[in-house]
Amino acid sequence: MEIIINGQTEQSPPGTIAELVTRKGLAPGSLVVELNQTIIKQEQWQTTSLKAGDRLELLSFVGGG
């Protein structure tokens, strides 16, 4: 299915946010996830399933002034 991750359309197998994070090899500690403009806390990653057309933002804090 197609989902939009950080503005880019990607092909993704069905599954949860936790599965996507693992599949992409992302470090969960610093990751902030927003799904369709709602923050999904880390505790909810395993129970939140992705569906076609979802807009996912994978964010993290970086240096800034």
26 near another protein, rule: CB under 8 A: yes
Piece in contact with another protein (CB under 8 A), picked from 11-19, 21-29, 45-53: 21-29
Q: Measured at the alpha carbon of residue 40, what is the angle toward residues 44 and 15, in degrees to the nearest 5?
A: 60
63 near another protein, rule: CB under 8 A: yes
Selection from 59, 57, 54, 60 nearest residue 7 by Cα: 57
CB of 59 to another protein, least distance (A): 6
Determine phi and psi for 29, rounding to 5 degrees. -55, -40
Residue numbers at the binding site for another protein (CB under 8 A): 5-7, 24-27, 29-32, 34, 37, 39, 41, 57-65
